[in-house]
Structure formats: C-alpha cells, structure tokens
C-alpha cells in the first residue's frame, strides 16, 4: 500500500453529559428540570452539576459551600459511586461492540478508534449516531460525540457540541475550527502556562501557531513549547491505547473542619495510606513513588514526593515514607483542610532484594492476612491501632 492509500484515522471522543447528575435524575425523576448538584457537605467539592445548575455558574471541582451561595435553591446530593461504575461498565460494553480499540479516560468518557469498523458499521458519523442512540435507549442518559482524525481534535469537538450533540471535524476543516479558539483550549495549557502566553501576547491558538517554535521553547521549555506548537497546527499522532495501565492509585479526604494537630493529621495520612495500599495490593501492583498532598485552610496546596530504589506495597513501609514527607515540611500549626496519598510509578513485578540491608521481612505477610480478613469481615474488622477511637469510660459518657 502506498502512502497515498493509507487510510486516515477516524477517532471518536464520547463524553457522557453531566454523568453523575444524569444518573441521579435517572434514578430520581423528580430532580429533572431542577438545579441539581452532586457533592455533599459544605466542605466538599462539586463532582457534577446538571445544566440547570450550570446556568448559575456552578462547575465541577468548585467548593460545595461556594456552589450553595451561588444557587441556594439547588438540590445537593451525595455521590453514589457504585451506580456510576455499574452504568459506566455497560456504556463501555456498548463502545466495545463497535470497536475493540477503546481507551477509557474516566468513568464517563472514552476515545474510540473506529477506522477499521467502518466497513461493518458505516462512517464515523454513522457509528457515533448509533452509539448515541443505543446509550440513550439502553441506559437512559445522553452523550456527546466528537469525530475527527485525531484524539485532540475529537475531544475538542465533543466539548463544542455538548450537551447531547455530535460534531465532526474533517481534516480539511481542522485549522478553520482550531485557530479561533482561546489558548486554554489546548491540552497542557493551565493557569500558569496561560499567563506566560498572555505575557507573550498570545491569546488564540492561531497566535501560537504563528509564533516561531524556537520562541515558544525559550519561553515555555522544550517539552511544553514543542507540544503547544504541534497541537496548534492540529498535529496529534497519539494512538488510542487499549487497557492502558493505571498510572497511579490514591486517596484523599476533605475534613469536616480544619485541623492543625500533627498527631491528628498523621492519623488521617495513615488512614489514606491504608486505603491506597489496599487498592494497590488488590491490583497486584507495587509502587516506587510515594506522593502526599496537603490543602491548607486558605485553599493553597502543596505536594511532596519520594521515589524509592525498590517498589513496595506494604501499608507500614508506605506510611513510613508518608510520615517523613509530612514531618519534613515543618509546618506545625498550619490549619489543613485536606490530605491525600498517591502511589505512582507502578510495577507488576514483585521486588526482590537479597543484599545486605534488605528490608525487614513480615510486612507483606501481615498485610496479606489483613486483606483476607477485611475481604471476609469488612474494612473495620482489622485496623491499625492508632485508627481505632478509644471507647469512652462511664465517667465520660
């Protein structure tokens, strides 16, 4: 086959519309037509908002307290993660019925490479229409689909046709569609990069495209400058990756009140470590990089990481790293609203060390026994001692 005969890729980006809120409306029809926000507790964050709530400026990741001030009449509900996982699994099965090349990005969105499926199911646009119809008929929720020759443009297209829409951007229309967009439309342009681009007088994608590559690299660094230049010309050569290994496993918790006691903070770090390492062992993985996250009362946040010479999966060993990372901050007295633990640089191979100074034996065996007990009797059946609240004496009762 000559280069002229190479078939152009057809990529779909399928994104459920306000997924968590849509599932809540599906299960509770009385919510339809009303402003609905998934995210409970004044100190929590918004996980999803239906389009009625978005009219008031409410968006995902916004503090719930702020959302309540913006729309005090809105309905606020707690998330039901088991329902989202259940419906997501069935939606992904629909995607897989059209192509084996499905790359889930989250519970509610995925890339599909349907290049090789068109002989069976029609054009990319026809496949997208079939998927939208099937999802709505079988699951009772809607989705929006972007269709393009690349992942980058397909995702932009789906964002521009929400809710419940479909938009195809063919190769000869990419620059016409892409160049008028603001710089924040490009992957990798966050607040800091946007500020740097603004200082350069670059406000649209066309501005970036018409700036010399060398100028972007000098201002933003090799990786970012090169990436933005390529994407600004619509060039994205990434394939749809099936079953991409999980990049990290983590847990975080927003407290019901700000805390400043180091002992209490370490207890919460231990609880997050216990949850994260249990998930790690359940996936038969080991982590080399341990990261902690802290969000302070003023909403500023910091992260600290350590990469180990050998990957681990033990709660005890992981917590020792977490504890040292926290204590090294020397920020006693700072009021904290959230802590998190993330395990990255994941590996499937069991680490073996036979040299002098090898790790203490026994922690993996202990964790294995604990995992078996909790699987049978529940998470509360075996806990680290410092996570068990002492019972009140009769004098205190």
Annotated binding site for Mg(2+): 15, 108
Question: Any idea what DSSP says for residue 37?
Answer: E
Alpha-carbon span 181 to 152, nearest angstrom: 13
Contact between 292 and 341 (Cβ < 8 Å):
yes
Q: Where are the alpha helices (DSSP H) in 308-378?
A: 315-327, 363-377
Distances in Å between the alpha carbon of 349 and those of 20, 247, 279, 352, 355? 36, 15, 16, 9, 18
Q: Name every residue whose Cβ is closer than 8 Å to that of residue 1 and which is 6 or more positions away in sequence.
A: none
Tokens read off for 79: 């998330």
| 109 labelled catalytic | yes
End-to-end Cα separation, the chain, in angstroms = 82
Q: Where are the alpha helices (DSSP H) in 262-356?
A: 262-282, 315-327
Judge contact between 317 and 363, C-beta under 8 A. Answer: yes
CB distance 160 to 167 below 8 Å: yes
**Cα–Cα distance, 63 to 118 (Å, whole number):** 44
Element (H, E) at 2: none
Query: Would you give the distance in Å from CA 337 to the centre of its chain?
Result: 20
Query: Which residues have C-beta within 8 Å of that of residue 282, sequence separation ≥ 6?
Result: 371
Binding-site members are: 15, 108
Three-state DSSP string of 155-223: HHHHHCCCCCCEEECCHHHHHHHHCCCEHHHCCCCCHHHHHHHHHCCCCEHHHHHCCCHHHHHHHHCHH
- Rounded CA separation 338/61 (Å): 14
Residue whose token pair is 């996250």: 293
Interhelix angle 124-139/81-96, nearest 10 degrees: 140
Catalytic residue among 109, 139, 268, 274: 109
Residues noted as catalytic: 109
């Amino acid at each position: 086959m000559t280069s002229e005969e190479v078939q152009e890729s057809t990529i779909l980006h399928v994104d459920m519309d306000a997924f968590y809120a849509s599932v809540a409306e599906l299960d509770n029809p009385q919510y339809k037509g009303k402003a609905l926000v998934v995210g409970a507790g004044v100190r929590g964050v918004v996980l999803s908002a239906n389009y009625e709530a978005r009219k008031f400026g409410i968006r995902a990741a916004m503090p719930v307290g702020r959302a309540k001030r913006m729309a005090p009449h809105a309905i606020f509900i707690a998330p039901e993660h088991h329902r989202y996982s259940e419906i997501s699994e069935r939606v992904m099965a629909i995607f897989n019925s059209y192509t084996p090349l499905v790359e889930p990005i989250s519970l509610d969105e995925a890339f599909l490479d349907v290049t090789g499926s068109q002989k069976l199911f029609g054009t990319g646009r026809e496949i997208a229409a079939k998927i939208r119809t099937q999802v709505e008929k079988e699951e009772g929720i809607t989705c929006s689909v972007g269709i393009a020759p690349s992942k980058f443009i397909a995702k932009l297209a789906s964002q521009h046709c929400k809710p419940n829409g479909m938009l195809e951007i063919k190769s000869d229309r990419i620059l016409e569609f892409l160049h008028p967009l603001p710089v924040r439309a490009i992957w990798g342009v966050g607040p800091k990069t946007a500020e740097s681009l603004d200082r350069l007088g670059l406000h649209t994608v066309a501005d970036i495209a018409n700036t010399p590559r060398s100028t972007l690299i000098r201002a933003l660094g090799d990786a970012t400058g090169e990436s933005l230049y390529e994407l600004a010309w619509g060039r994205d050569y990434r394939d749809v990756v099936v079953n991409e290994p999980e990049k990290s496993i983590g847990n975080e918790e927003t407290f019901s009140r700000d805390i400043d006691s180091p002992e209490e903070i370490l207890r919460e770090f231990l609880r997050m470590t216990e949850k994260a390492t249990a998930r790690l062992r359940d996936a038969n993985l080991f982590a080399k990089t341990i990261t902690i996250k802290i969000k302070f009362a003023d909403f500023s946040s910091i992260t600290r990481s350590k990469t180990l010479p050998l990957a681990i999966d033990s709660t005890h060993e992981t917590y020792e790293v977490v504890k040292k990372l926290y204590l090294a901050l020397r920020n006693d007295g700072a009021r904290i609203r959230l802590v998190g633990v993330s395990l990255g640089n994941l590996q499937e191979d069991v680490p073996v060390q036979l040299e002098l100074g090898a790790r203490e034996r026994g922690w993996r065996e202990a964790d294995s026994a604990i995992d078996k007990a909790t699987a049978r009797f529940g998470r509360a059946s075996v806990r680290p001692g410092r996570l068990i609240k002492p019972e009140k004496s009769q004098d205190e009762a």
